[in-house]
Chain A
Amino acid sequence: MATQKEVSVVGSLADLPDHANGARHLVWWGNLGFMLIEGTGFALAIAAYLYVLSHSSAWPPAGDALPDLGWSGVFTLGLLLSEIPNLWLLRQARAKKEQAVRIGILLMTVIGVGLTVIRLLEFGHLNVRWSADGYGSMVWLLMVLHTTHVFTELGETAVQALWLFTHEVGDNQFSDVEDTANYWTFVVLFWLPIYGLVYWMPRLS
């Protein structure tokens, strides 16, 4: 059958919209895919932490001080509270409100800068070096992994804010803001088990 298959045009898709929101939008699935990849990375790092913990006689090993709860508590509280403006921003993006989205993304950028500063202070209060022992290496692994995500998300939010303030916002950009807000929620949610492991597990073991 070397000839071209006969075709008959039976209708048109021209009336379809040229944009969609939420899970109907193609990029939403790309965003989900990258969350799955990074979520798997987090889950495996957590599993590795628990594996080393289960093979240790003391956690933290004798001589290591416990991590401080001060700045980490502020960071955790700040991160959880950031979900309020973040979810508000998500709603504004879905409603395609240009001004509100601009304000929301600027607010999230400022919050991101604040949280990053607190995170850097937090590193000074882990009270163990990465090279000290297996415990120290694992704590730093989880912290660096999460901080990388806070940094990248801050970068993305800041660039998006700059774009949104300088350009006319179209449907695709509202979807981009939705994706950014969803990703921030992902970064917030994955902090909770890491916070528990880094700051509370050594106190409970």
Chain B
Amino acid sequence: MTFALQSNEPKTSERHARLAQTWADAPGIWGFLTTVDHKRIAARYILTTVVLLFAAGMLALHMRLQLSFPELKVLGPQGYNEAFSLHGSTMLFLVSVPVMEAMGIWLVPLMLGQRALAFPRLAAFSFWLYVGGVMTLWVSHALDITPDLGWFEYPPLSGSAYSPGHRADIWAQMITFTEVAALAASVNMVATILKMRPPGMTLARMPLFLWAMLVASLMTIFAMPAVMLVTSMLISDRLVSTVFFAPTQGGDILLFQHLFWFFGHPEVYMIFIPAVGFITAIVETFSRRTIVGHTAMVLSVVAIGVLAFGLWVHHMFAVGLPKLGNSFFTAASLAIALPAGIQVFCWIATIWSGRPQFYTPFLWVIGFIITFVMGGLSGVMTASAPLDLQLTDTYFVVAHFHYVLVGGAIFPLLGAFCYWYPKATGRMMSERWGWASFLLIVGGFNLGFFPMHILGLMGMPRRVYTYDPSLGWSTLNMVATLGSAIAVLGGLIFVANAFLSLWRGAPAGPDPWGGSTLEWAASSPPPQHNFDYTPVVNSIAPLWSEDPLRMLDGVGVSRREVLVSSLAEAHPEYRQKSAQPSIWPLLAAIAVSIMFIGSIFTPWAVVWGSLPIAGALTAWFWPQRPRSKTGPLRVRV
């Protein structure tokens, strides 16, 4: 690939200043509301999830206090139902999926050497709508309309006969909010990764994190419509008397479970696969070598993405489906252990053959591998239909999914947070407090959740608000509560470390860890336009293979532009104008929120609520060009 040198480009410092001016947000509150900067949007997404993580953690601690001794009255049965419903719904719908997308929103353009996402306003819309979902659940909680049927609300319990009032509607509509937000983010991610790679970054040279975000986003696109459909059907049954889930009137009760888990199982992998990307990036940097078996890793991520859609019935082994179906889903559930196993071996081989450096991000990798392997093994156990019949709805399952979700996604996320924190803030987090929070969280987590395996085997059902002292569950429950409290303490230290390091942390410089991917070529924190020039890539680890790093100029300086390239080979195709800041994504999200909330109460909200949405979208997409001088509607002066 050859490019002509241009002599009329402005000089470097002048160019930087002009780019900064072109990409600047308006000052103050207006800039806050109208920004389309992927880094600002991602930062507020991540901060919101941190606040919610804290709230969900407090709920967990509240439940653990209730269970620490038999027959306590810290929480009553209704309060306990609300606590685990709010905890589960918050963690699954408002923390885990959004935070992974937020990491993608922040990191993908940086890792591509780009100045923006493909659709900057769509990212802003995604965040504002997500806020609508957060408020739907938590403002309702403040108003004592808290969902109380768990994080999956099966009919007939969630039908109007058994759940009058609006608790179930709040849950169902909160999902619609967050799923539309997630789908908007996913389309953005796919288009950015496929069409905005820098010259030379062929699909074969794409860092694993980008592969992971691509696969997770495609999974979102194919899985989330299922849960939107099923929760809309539930609201419709409750509001306009359709009978989708009423077996006595020709509906089908299990249809809900099929559609819910068609989404619900892939969701676990939508959370886990970005974590694979985090872990790989951290392992490469701190082992000082590229990943062993890059192709095998990519194929295993894709294989998990495909297999994840063939497992949903393993959440339904106890409902009495045909045995042949159960056997198929057992086999598929066991099969997914193979690509997951390949990944673990590739990471271990990379660490083994590299020169590992035990900084905080790398500690999280170790915590992840140990915890996730344990969660994976208990997953292989529960994948077997006959054993699952014994274990389902016991604390064994609670232990299993916390091991895979916390061990498999939250630990990598905390590692990723420590790893990219210097890039985002320009400061280093304290290593000493990093070690302390790591030991407390991982130690506390294992102390808290390992006993739950045994409690489950002893027969303790999940979702009970108390238990009889004669059952012999008291000691292990007390241990579990202690462990949880230790983990929460570790979490508080982690957050305090992050906040205090903003002021007290050592200056990071652009590449404190000696990373290999393009984000480390930007300054820390990156300017609003990320890069002054467009990088050229010749390997999977450009910062290790190229010195100096080759760059191209020519992408707009005085107007917002991004480079669009070809799908497979990343040949530069054209320069795309990038959207200006706008208030319309926020106003569109408010209009959509009004319609969603209104439709809990009346079906007509869908009709009148559509008008402001149409108005906001029209204003959002209204192109700014001169008036026509020809035709019947031409400008007349």
A→B interface (CB under 8 Å): 1-20, 24-26, 29-30, 33-34, 36-38, 40-41, 44-45, 48, 51-52, 55-56, 61, 99, 102, 130-138, 140-141, 155, 159, 162-163, 165-170, 172-173, 176
Contacts and interface: CB of A to CB of B under 8 A. Distances in A.
B394 to A, nearest CB: 30
A8 B5 CA distance: 12
B629 interface: yes
Interface stretch (B295-303, B339-347, B349-357, B552-560): B552-560
B575 interface: yes
A186 to B, nearest CB: 15
B225 A131 contact: no
27 contacts: A4-B523, A5-B521, A5-B547, A6-B549, A8-B549, A10-B536, A10-B550, A10-B551, A11-B3, A11-B4, A14-B553, A16-B554, A20-B573, A24-B564, A29-B118, A29-B195, A30-B119, A33-B187, A41-B228, A44-B262, A52-B252, A61-B250, A130-B240, A137-B251, A141-B242, A166-B627, A172-B577
A12 B9 contact: yes
Given A15-B554, A132-B243, 20 more contacts: A2-B512, A5-B520, A5-B548, A10-B536, A10-B552, A11-B3, A11-B4, A13-B534, A18-B574, A20-B573, A37-B183, A48-B229, A55-B252, A56-B250, A133-B251, A134-B250, A137-B243, A165-B628, A166-B628, A168-B629
Nearest to A40: B225
Return the 10 tightest CB-CB contacts between A and B, nearest first. A11-B3, A2-B509, A134-B250, A14-B554, A33-B187, A13-B554, A12-B554, A133-B250, A6-B548, A41-B225
Given A13-B553, A166-B633, A20 B574 contact: yes
B548 A165 contact: no
A12 B534 CA distance: 9
B575 A11 contact: no
B191 interface: yes
A53 to B, nearest CB: 10
A134 B632 contact: no
Contacts of B574: 16-20, 24
A52 to B, nearest CB: 5
Contact of B553 (A2, A4, A12, A141): A12
B470 interface: no
B523 A13 contact: no
A47 to B, nearest CB: 9
Contacts of B4: 11-12, 15
Contacts of A140: 242
Interface residues of B, number: 88
Contacts of A170: 623, 625
A194 B535 CA distance: 48
B626 A167 contact: yes
B614 interface: yes
Contacts of B627: 166-168
A167 B625 contact: yes
Nearest to B566: A24
A52 B551 contact: no
B28 interface: no
Contacts of A10: 3, 5, 536, 550-552
B6 interface: yes
Given A13-B552, A37-B221, A51-B252, A26 B576 contact: yes
Given A37-B221, A41-B228, A134-B249, A30 B187 contact: yes
Contacts of B240: 130-131
Q: Which of B250, B514, B573 has the most CB of A within 10 A?
A: B250
Q: Which of A33, A99, A140 has the most CB of B within 10 A?
A: A33
A131 B251 CA distance: 10
Interface in B303-329: none
B601 interface: no
A137 B564 contact: no
Contact of B623 (A11, A51, A167): A167
A13 to B, nearest CB: 4
Interface in B89-109: none
Contacts of A11: 2-5, 552-554
Contacts of A141: 233, 242, 244
Interface string B349-369: 000000000000000000000
Given A5-B511, A11-B5, A134-B252, A30 B191 contact: yes
B87 to A, nearest CB: 28
A164 B276 CA distance: 47
B251 A8 contact: no
B41 to A, nearest CB: 17
Interface in B583-637: 614, 618, 622-623, 625-629, 631-635
B511 A2 contact: yes
Interface string B1-13: 0111110010000
Given A5-B521, A52-B255, A165 B225 contact: no
Nearest to A165: B633
A37 B240 CA distance: 25
A163 B512 CA distance: 51
B487 interface: no
Interface in B209-262: 221-222, 224-226, 228-229, 233, 236, 240-244, 246, 249-252, 255, 258-259, 262
Contacts of A56: 250
Contact of A16 (B225, B252, B572): B572
Interface string B510-524: 111010000011010
Nearest to B632: A165
A133 B249 contact: yes
Contact of A9 (B225, B250, B551): B551
A34 B180 CA distance: 11
B543 interface: yes
B631 A102 contact: yes
B186 interface: yes
A33 B561 CA distance: 22
